[in-house]
Amino acid sequence: MNSFKTCSSGALEYGKNKYYNPIVMSRIVEIGPYHYIDPSQWGENYSERRHLDRMESEMFRVSEFDFSFEIHIKSPVRRFSNPPVLRIFDGGCGEGSALIDFRKIAERLSVKLETTGITRNPRHKDILASCGVDEIVIGSVENFFETDDRKNYYHFILDYQGALSYDEPRGIQGACVVPIYSRILESGGSALLVSPPVFPGWLKRNNLKIIQGTEEKGPVLVEKV
Ligand SMILES: C[S@@+](CC[C@H](N)C(=O)[O-])C[C@H]1O[C@@H](n2cnc3c(N)ncnc32)[C@H](O)[C@@H]1O
């Protein structure tokens, strides 16, 4: 039996395929399209549960990209002068291991955190709810933000081999996802993109200034200007 209740009223109301789990208070949106990869099919380099320290060490080992999430997260906290809520979006969050770690960082920095994790795999839904992700979207970034009209909302976006890696219509890596990330990022907010190289010039065209790394190689850290 499904343990999630449909909201009928109040702040958490979202529509007919949107739910919240009253125990962990996650908002859940199931919108599709769905994609299921069974863990037994995961290859050597495929993971749906990277923690932040694994991302840091992988980026350094593979690309000599020196990055500390904790140090970086301090900067939006300072830049937005202790925002009442620090908002983080994980575009392809898998089982949400990174989002768990962001919560620990926020606790250490004594800042309130709001997390959104999006994944196309329905298997992740209960796992994400049980680790306290505030908003869980089961479906694609492209599809979700067609109807969700948030703008200038998130302070930090992480896409670690997530939606961006699979977004290459007509050979343009990032064609759909990069404009969406630019729209939902707060001005001065940043995004860490770990994917195949984004289409040349595409970041700049979408008001994303490169702070660290290169478009040609990745990973790349960008800031919305
Ligand atoms: C290889 S896993 C990486 C998960 C996590 N970032 C990690 O490093 O462990 C890819 C994730 O991106 C999600 N994904 C792929 N395309 C997506 C899209 N268009 N929109 C949202 N999520 C997507 C998959 O469902 C999965 O959760």
Q: List, for residues 196-217, the tens digit of each pLDDT value.
A: 999 999 999 999 999 999 988 8
Kindly list the distances between the CA atom of residue 67 and the CA atoms of 24, 73, 93, 107, in Å, as whole numbers in the listed order: 31, 11, 19, 20
**Which letter does DSSP use for residue 197 in this model?**
P
CA-CA-CA-CA torsion sign (115, 120, 125, 128): negative
Residue 94 in contact with ligand 1 by CB distance below 6 A: yes
Mutation probe of ligand 1 site: the residue of 31, 36, 48 with most atoms within 8 A of C-beta: 48
Percent of the chain predicted with pLDDT > 70: 90
* Cα–ligand 1 centroid distance for 77 (angstroms): 26
How high is the pLDDT of residue 80? 85
Task: Quickly state the pLDDT bin for 24 (edges 50, 70, 90).
Answer: low
Residue 50 in contact with ligand 1 by CB distance below 6 A: yes
Beta strands in 3-153 (DSSP E): 5-6, 18-21, 26-32, 86-91, 113-119, 135-139
**Which letter does DSSP use for residue 159 in this model?**
E
Instruction: Dig out the tokens for 148 from the structure.
Output: 């969700």
User: Of 160, 210, 208, 195, whose CA–CA distance to 56 is shortest?
Assistant: 160
Task: Quickly state the pLDDT bin for 83 (edges 50, 70, 90).
Answer: confident
- Ramachandran angles phi, psi of 60, nearest 5°: -70, -45
Domain count, the chain: 1
Q: Which residues pair with 89 in a beta bridge?
A: 116, 157
Task: Quickly state the pLDDT bin for 16 (edges 50, 70, 90).
Answer: very low
* Cα–ligand 1 centroid distance for 163 (angstroms): 5
Instruction: Dig out the tokens for 149 from the structure.
Output: 């009209």
Could you read off the pLDDT of 37-58 as tens digits, one per residue? 999 999 888 999 999 999 999 9
Mutation probe of ligand 1 site: the residue of 47, 95, 120 with most atoms within 8 A of C-beta: 120
Residue 101 in contact with ligand 1 by CB distance below 6 A: no
CATH code of the domain containing 28? 3.40.50.150
Residue 92 in contact with ligand 1 by CB distance below 6 A: yes
d(CA 169, CA 59) in angstroms, rounded, equals 26
- The residue segments making up the domain with residue 177 are 3-224
How high is the pLDDT of residue 130? 93
User: Of 106, 96, 83, whose CA–CA distance to 133 is shortest?
Assistant: 96
Ligand 1 atom with the shortest distance to the CA of 94: 27
